[in-house]
Amino acid sequence: MPIDVGTIKFEGNDRTRANIREIQNSGVALIHQEPRLFPDLSVLENVCVDYQVRASGSRRLNGKKAEEETKALLKELGCTFSIHSPVKALSVADQQMVDMVSALRKKLKLLIVDEPTASLTPSEVERLFATIRKLHTSGVAVIFIGHRLEEVLKISQRITVLKDGEVVAVKKTSETNEDQLVKLMVGRNIYAAAAGSGNTSNKVMLKVSNLVSPGFVSDVSFEVKQGEILGIGGLVGAGRSELLETVFGLRQRTSGIVKSTDHGELKNVKQAIAAKLALIPEDRAHNGLALNRSINENLVITNLNLSSKGGIRNFGNEAKVGQELIDKFRIKLSSAFQLVRELSGGNQQKVSLAKWLKQDIEVLLIDEPSRGVDVGSKSEIHQFLFDSANKGMSVVMVSSDMRELIELSQRIIVMRNGRIAGELTGKEISEESVLRLASGLSISAKTK
């Protein structure tokens, strides 16, 4: 983003007008919230795309050295995928790790990381934090931008709190806590704002029986009741996202049945939408939004039947429908014609949600609802899910945020290796129980 006012100094030198290459050559690396990678290139090619690993006295890439360095860094971060795998075949979490490795192989003086843990499991977060601490010990300065406050408190020494683009406080980590930080950011305790759904009925809205998608989902069966928030837990790679995509019809299924009680069997996306199902994907940048189109265009794309007449677009009606959704979801913008890619992660997620929910959705499939979202937007999204469930909408939610998963869900199914490893309800629901099932351990054994 261009700088209008102010200066940037690095190591005592004015870098206000420096370009990206000059900043990088100074020893600064930035890991973006959304991985900036070439999907058709391999992991190794993405890591070494700037050809900084060269043979002595040559401009050519030293392939052997590059491979050794990349493998060592992947091993340090606990990654098991091949350096020759195409990036597009990796999960969002693994892509985040590739982005991290690309930064770590450079001679760093300052590392800026933006929401690096949004898609990572607790064990992956710990490995990442161990790497960050190692960098810090070696003299590298780190700016860690995060919305999971428990992680910010765990990794930092000093915290700068921003609200609406302005600094509202600077605190020593040892002298503050999560509640204080939340109140500084949003002016209230966000966790007190939410109250679980109390209107679950016995009516089954969606029933999934013996669903199979080769390589991802194996013989999965579950049902969700009207007004219920059903959580899906598990480690990255367990098949959680793929399950939602298979239910919605985006992934091929070789056997099994997806059935809506009111609309019959659903075999494809068209039938799922007609049966009033909606899917909010994990990767909103690539699968949930048209980033280079306006906010208004994104909001009306699933509501053309409400804003058009006789199959012809009515721009006046589109503006009206868009504005209703902008107001309802409190989307912060400069104009309805602003490009979606210019919004914050939280506001992008609101657009991703809002575009579906002008319709009378009966079952919402939502994958990582608060990934890369600020605490204020996270609170609003949580409250919306609670309110919608209280009004009778069923929610099936995948989340890697353990606190979110436990606080929102009335029932949790845990996946492992594409299968359901167990189901938790009531007092059975705890972080330990979810992790034990996800790791293939018995819940009953935890008391021994």
List, for residues 286-337, the tens digit of each pLDDT value.
Answer: 888 999 999 999 998 888 887 777 778 888 888 898 999 999 999 999 899 9
Q: What is the CA radius of gyration of the chain?
A: 23
Closest CA to 357 of 280, 446, 259, 438: 280
Q: According to the model, what pLDDT value does residue 84 have?
A: 92
Q: In this structure, are residues 246 and 253 in contact, taking their beta carbons and an 8 Å threshold? A: yes
Q: Write the CB contacts of 74 (distance below 8 Å, at least 6 apart in sequence).
A: 43, 81, 83, 97, 101
- Bridge partners for 403 per DSSP: none
Closest CA to 21 of 46, 51, 45: 51
Q: Where are the beta strands (DSSP E) in 283-383?
A: 308-309, 312-313, 363-367
**Predicted local confidence at residue 369, as pLDDT:** 92
Contacts by 385-392 with C-beta closer than 8 Å and gap 24+? 385/229, 386/194, 386/195, 386/196, 386/197, 386/229, 388/357, 388/364, 389/197, 389/199, 389/200, 389/227, 389/228, 389/229, 390/197, 390/198, 390/199, 390/227, 391/199, 391/227, 392/199, 392/201, 392/226, 392/227
Nearest Cα residue to 289 out of 244, 218, 355: 355
- pTM for the model: 0.69
For every residue of 240-274, DSSP letters joined together read HHHHHHHHHTSS--SEEEEEETTTEE--SHHHHHH
Question: What pLDDT score does 194 carry?
Answer: 45
Query: In this predicted structure, what is the pLDDT of residue 174?
Result: 94
Question: Which domains are assigned to the chain?
Answer: 9-145 (3.40.50.300), 193-447 (3.40.50.300)
| pLDDT on residue 273 | 93
Cα–Cα distances in angstroms (integers) from residue 77 to residues 96, 108, 114, 374, in the given order: 11, 17, 17, 26
Q: How far apart are CA 360 and CA 382, in angstroms?
A: 19
> For residue 130, which of 73, 76, 70 has the smallest C-alpha distance?
76
Separation CA 363–CA 396 (nearest Å): 8
Ranges of residues in the chain whose predicted pLDDT is under 70: 1-2, 51-62, 119, 187-200, 443-448
pLDDT at 56: 52
List the beta bridge partners of residue 366. 280, 397
Q: Is 164 exposed, middle or buried (0-12, 13-18, 19+ CB in 10 A)?
A: exposed
In single-letter form, the type of residue at position 344 comes to S
* Tokens 């499991």 belong to residue: 121
Determine how β-strand 419-425 pairs with β-strand 411-416: antiparallel
Contacts 24+ apart (CB under 8 A), 82-85: 82/43, 83/42, 83/43, 83/44, 83/47, 84/42, 84/43, 84/44, 85/42, 85/43
Find residue 11's DSSP bridge partners: none
Helix (H) or strand (E) segment spanning residue 385: helix 375-390
Residue 367, C-beta contacts closer than 8 angstroms, at least 6 positions apart: 240, 241, 244, 279, 280, 281, 282, 397, 398
